[in-house]
Structure 1
Amino acid sequence: MTDFAFPGLNLAVTTPFDPDGRVAFDRLEEHLERYIAAGIPGFVLSSGTGLHAYLSREESDELVARGARIIDGRAKVIVQTSALLVEDVVARTRHAADCGADGVMLLPPFFEGPTSDDDVVAFYETASQGGLPIIGYNVPHVVGVAITPDLFRRLAEIPNFVTVKDSSGDLVQQTDLIRTGLPVMNGADPLVPYALYAGAAGLIWGGANFAPKACVAVVKAAEAGDWSKVREFWRALEPAMNLIWQGDYGQSVYAAAEMTGYGAGQPRRPFSPLPADKREVLRAALGGLIESEAQS
């Protein structure tokens, strides 16, 4: 859809941490500026890759306020406002709106939450009171709730509900959502070129933290319809994108970003740094990206 608000690459950006596990707010500007310089057109602040679930409400709010101020209209700003209580979702969303965010991304009720379609619709209806465009989040293997095509159609009737980010990792399920004719965003790193070819309206991409230039190139080639170029660029990205999806996702993204010059420190507890043996496997999967991303 030409009027879709979040086309192309939206980076689920890492949150910088200091050696003691505190959010490194003093490094945030440099961190975001590197990605803006690499051509990233949209950001998700307090993202899952940025350990949203392990940030306090105060930390997340400050991260959003500072991040939106730094970006200052140069890229789209999406904020994850997921919370267990829908009242907290509304409050977080209103804060994001006050900071100038363009939209929010939020999970359906999670942690042994309700699974009926009616309850999921009621949740998002209340969340829409926050006043910003909503990106629903389909990650059924984590949440226990699947956004099916029928549920997607119902959600699309809610004011402010604009799209679903599909992180199921199942291309069949994603193309079922795409065939509704409603805009769908891909959130599964290994599916990027296939999802774009299938008609995904946009991407929310965590792996792009460690290879923003190559990821921007893939999306631009897809937008131009040059699928041979897409395949050429994807060939360099595919080993690492497949590897991080197989486990240790957050630790792997942080470790890979450090290797390619986009480090954000180590992920905070309860995560530990990626072990040395897995770092070596990751380094091999990155291959030439380590050098190419470092080049200006």
Structure 2
Amino acid sequence: MITGSMVALVTPMHEDGNVDWDGLTRIVDFHLREGTNSIVAVGTTGESATLDVTEHCQVISRVVKQVEGRIPVIAGTGANSTHEAFELTQEAKGLGVDACLLVTPYYNKPTQEGMYQHFKYIAERVEIPQILYNVPGRTSVDLLPETVERLALVDNIVGIKEATGDIERAKRLIANCSADFAVYSGDDPTAVELILAGGKGNISVTANVAPAKMSELCRLALAGKADEARRLNEELMPLHSNLFVESNPIPVKWALQEMGMIEGGIRLPLTPLSEPSQAIVRDVLKRNKLL
């Protein structure tokens, strides 16, 4: 089971929007050096919605080759087309990832039964650990606990990234699913509470800029050191909040650029961080001694 701090890695880009392969190498090295427990390549934060299929697979391949098995690599392979998600998951398996992360089918607004059949179809056809990803704020569809509980019985479905921030919902899943089904936070501000309630880790945006602290936060929470974990989370809370001052990954990519880690490229329809928001993010980076 993959546990701890899992960075939802950005995809570095040049100002012209092309993928910055040297920047990708730098940030992967950064996470290996700073103690990140796992890398999620080409998830939402990695701009999966605007990378073409070739780029998507190239990013996954580069990360896998660079990591060389030192930590697990999880590939974002979700799509609103079941066939496309199946093909991406199959390709990621061939590239050597440890698991795949599949977001709920966005835009189509399928029923609960439609989502169950979508995830079941892929799990039955690609033999690799698969993590569900529920983020209704971005997809306009909510994978309800009763549907997750059905899916947890399907071979190859090993966990869920629950990004609602609803701790009571997470507790229900932890209680009703088997012990080998992992519930992960997808919401940095509430991750500590989810882990203390029995969650297995956090798939994190904040970890892009503060990997060592996020790794320590998850380590403390997994060890049941609640007071220490909560103190560190309070210290990080302004960073958690202000990295969402505009749509993710706009602020976190700008923060990494300000830190000298990557160039400033981002793809339309996303646009660079506005000047008023730059001041907010710069201030919180300085307060956390990241600048």
After superposition, give the CA deviation of every residue in 1:88-134 in whole Å (9 maximum; x if it has no partner): 2121111111111011011222212312x222111111111122111
Question: Whole-Å Cα distance in 2 between the matches of residues 219 and 106 of structure 1?
Answer: 23
Deviation (angstroms), 1:233: 1.8
After superposition, give the CA deviation of every residue in 1:238-282 in whole Å (9 maximum; x if it has no partner): 012022345422111112223345435332222111111111112
Aligned to 1:123: 118
Question: Whole-Å Cα distance in 2 between the matches of residues 188 and 264 of structure 1?
Answer: 26
Matched, 1:234 2:229: no
Residue type of the alignment partner of 1:249: N
Residue type of the alignment partner of 1:118: E
Structure 1, 252-261 or 60-69: larger mean CA deviation: 252-261
Aligned to 1:38: 34
Q: Percent identity?
A: 27
Structure 1, 211-220 or 260-269: larger mean CA deviation: 260-269
- Alignment size in residue pairs: 287
Distance 1:174 1:264, change over 3 A: farther
Following superposition, which runs of at least 4 residues in structure 1 exceed 4 angstroms of deviation? none
Deviation (angstroms), 1:35: 1.0
Distance 1:236 1:264, change over 3 A: farther
Structure 1, 183-192 or 105-114: larger mean CA deviation: 105-114
Residue type of the alignment partner of 1:274: L
Residue type of the alignment partner of 1:190: P
Distance 1:110 1:188, change over 3 A: same
Deviation (angstroms), 1:192: 1.6
After superposition, give the CA deviation of every residue in 1:16-66 in whole Å (9 maximum; x if it has no partner): 101111011233222211111011120111111111111001100111111
Helix, strand or coil at the partner of 2:49: helix
Cα pair 1:9 1:216 within 8 Å, conserved: yes
Ranges in structure 1 where 5+ consecutive residues have no aligned partner:
none
Residue type of the alignment partner of 2:117: A
Helix, strand or coil at the partner of 1:65: helix
Matched, 1:135 2:128: no
Question: Whole-Å Cα distance in 2 between the matches of residues 287 and 198 of structure 1?
Answer: 32
Residue type of the alignment partner of 2:97: A
Residue type of the alignment partner of 1:226: K
Question: Whole-Å Cα distance in 1 between the matches of residues 64 and 143 of structure 2?
Answer: 29
Matched, 1:252 2:248: no
Structure 1, 6-15 or 174-183: larger mean CA deviation: 174-183
Structure 1, 80-89 or 280-289: larger mean CA deviation: 280-289
TM-score (norm 2): 0.92
Matched, 1:279 2:274: no
Cα pair 2:188 2:240 within 8 Å, conserved: yes
Residue type of the alignment partner of 1:200: G
Residue type of the alignment partner of 2:87: A
Cα pair 1:15 1:264 within 8 Å, conserved: no
